[in-house]
């Protein structure tokens, strides 16, 4: 099978990796480039230059977008919902109520569910148009374009234990999935300040604060993935139990999450 590509977008960087193999993929970082203010042509030019530099053409390509660039929110389906269009209309109303933005400037996708609250995600049209422009110029087949949290949630949701919450960190953002009885109830995003990188108690304090604001009980356990500060993996007798979901533990001097790159990449390219 030909090599495929993984593109990661953060607010200021584009990273490009090559994926080799299938079941036991090897991930090779090819390079990265700075990304200026988000816009279709600027993204297409920056990504196109990176692809040209590494002679990347005619590849299957998955894209993971930082949660900072996306909008993630839960939607309560209408009581009389009878078709996916009813749920989509409810999601568009919820989007406008939360952000005040014109939904026409965003592409909205969700796992539509007429019976239970569902997770919806939106990406800017100009971001998607820039990706498509660069992909077309280099004959790339875009297999998936997902916010980081969605990619990780889809990968790990079946491994969550009981009422454990889920946390995904990427590009300085921690996105929490608040779970009860096996269902995702809410999604909350938190900026990770520099001082939190070495503070094991920062996570406990944030979980308690989020639970209070959401009128929920603080979770007994949180299961974490992504670029997690090593300090957060230290359990304390009075704190929330923490599990790191990746099967390969990081070395003491390696940021948690780097060893997980291959697993995330595999999830991104499977159909």
Cα 169 off chain centre by:
8
pLDDT mean over 216-229: 91
Confidence of residue 1 (pLDDT cuts 50, 70, 90): low
With tokens 């007994």, the residue in question is 220
Q: How far apart are CA 182 and CA 196, in angstroms?
A: 29
Confidence of residue 23 (pLDDT cuts 50, 70, 90): low
Query: Which pLDDT score, from 0 to 100, does residue 268 have?
Result: 40
The pLDDT mean for the chain works out to: 88
Q: How far apart are CA 120 and CA 110, in angstroms?
A: 4
Cα–Cα separations (whole angstroms), residue 36 to 12, 33, 126, 206: 6, 10, 13, 31
**Is 215 within 8 Å of 235 (Cβ atoms)?**
no
Token pair, residue 134, equals 């660069």
Query: Which pLDDT score, from 0 to 100, does residue 154 have?
Result: 92
Q: Which residue ranges form the domains of the chain, and what is each CATH number?
A: 158-258 (3.30.420)
Q: How far apart are CA 73 and CA 94, in angstroms?
A: 8
Residue of 6 and 80 predicted with greater confidence: 6
For residue 73, which phi and psi values (nearest 5 degrees)? -160, 160
Report the chain's terminal Cα–Cα distance, integer Å.
Answer: 14
* Most confident of the ranges 72-81, 139-148, 233-242, 262-271: 139-148
List the single range of 119-133, 141-155, 194-208, 228-242 with lowest mean pLDDT. 228-242
Query: Which pLDDT score, from 0 to 100, does residue 21 have?
Result: 75
Token pair, residue 78, equals 């209408």
């Amino acid at each position: 099978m030909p090599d495929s590509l993984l593109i990661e977008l953060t607010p200021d960087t584009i990273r490009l990796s090559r994926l080799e193999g299938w079941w036991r993929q090897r991930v090779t970082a090819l390079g990265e480039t700075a990304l200026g203010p988000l816009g279709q042509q600027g993204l297409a030019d920056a990504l196109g230059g990176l692809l040209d530099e590494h002679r990347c053409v005619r590849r299957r390509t998955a894209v993971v977008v930082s949660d900072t660039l996306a909008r993630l929110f839960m939607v309560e389906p209408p009581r009389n919902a009878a078709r996916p269009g009813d749920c989509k209309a409810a999601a568009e109303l919820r989007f406008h109520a939360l952000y005040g933005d014109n939904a026409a400037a965003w592409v909205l996708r969700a796992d539509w569910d007429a019976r239970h609250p569902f997770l919806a995600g939106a990406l800017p049209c100009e971001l998607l148009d820039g990706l498509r422009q660069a992909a077309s110029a280099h004959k790339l087949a875009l297999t998936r374009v997902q916010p980081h949290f969605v990619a990780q949630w889809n990968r790990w949701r079946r491994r969550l234990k009981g009422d454990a919450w889920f946390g995904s960190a990427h590009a300085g953002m921690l996105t929490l999935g608040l779970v009860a009885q096996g269902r995702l109830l809410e999604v909350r995003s938190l900026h990770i300040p520099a001082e939190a990188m070495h503070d094991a108690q920062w996570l406990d304090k944030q979980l308690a604060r989020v639970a209070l604001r959401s009128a929920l009980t603080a979770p007994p356990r949180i299961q974490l993935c992504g670029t997690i500060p090593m300090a957060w993996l230290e359990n304390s007798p009075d704190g929330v139990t923490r599990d790191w979901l990746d099967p390969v533990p990081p070395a003491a001097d390696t940021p948690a999450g780097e060893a997980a790159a291959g697993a995330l990449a595999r999830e991104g390219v499977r159909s």
